[in-house]
Amino acid sequence: MGIELNADWLIMDERIGRETARHMNVKVTGLLGCLLAAKHKNIVQKIAPVLLQLRDLAGFRISQELHKRILSIAAE
């Protein structure tokens, strides 16, 4: 889909799909990358509460290690 639309980025969290996209030279980011970009652009003030809501309300799964790394990158 990203190739047909000539998209700058493909947003995908699923591992095999990301690997396939990269193999096709499509730039990929996931939901966490989008959240970091939103914080960088001051669209959201804090990522930590969003991560908790994603986990508790939407069943979003993230390892504790990745959770800590994302908050570190976001300076939270």
pLDDT, residue 52, reads: 94
- Residue 2 clears pLDDT 60, i.e. is over it: no
**Could you read off the pLDDT of 11-40 as tens digits, one per residue?**
888 888 888 888 888 889 889 999 999 999
- Residue 8 clears pLDDT 70, i.e. is over it: yes
pLDDT, residue 16, reads: 87
- Residue 58 clears pLDDT 80, i.e. is over it: yes
Cα angle 39-41-9, degrees, rounded to a multiple of 5? 90
Helix axes 48-58, 64-73, angle to 10 degrees: 150
Cα R_g (the chain), whole angstroms: 14
pTM: 0.76
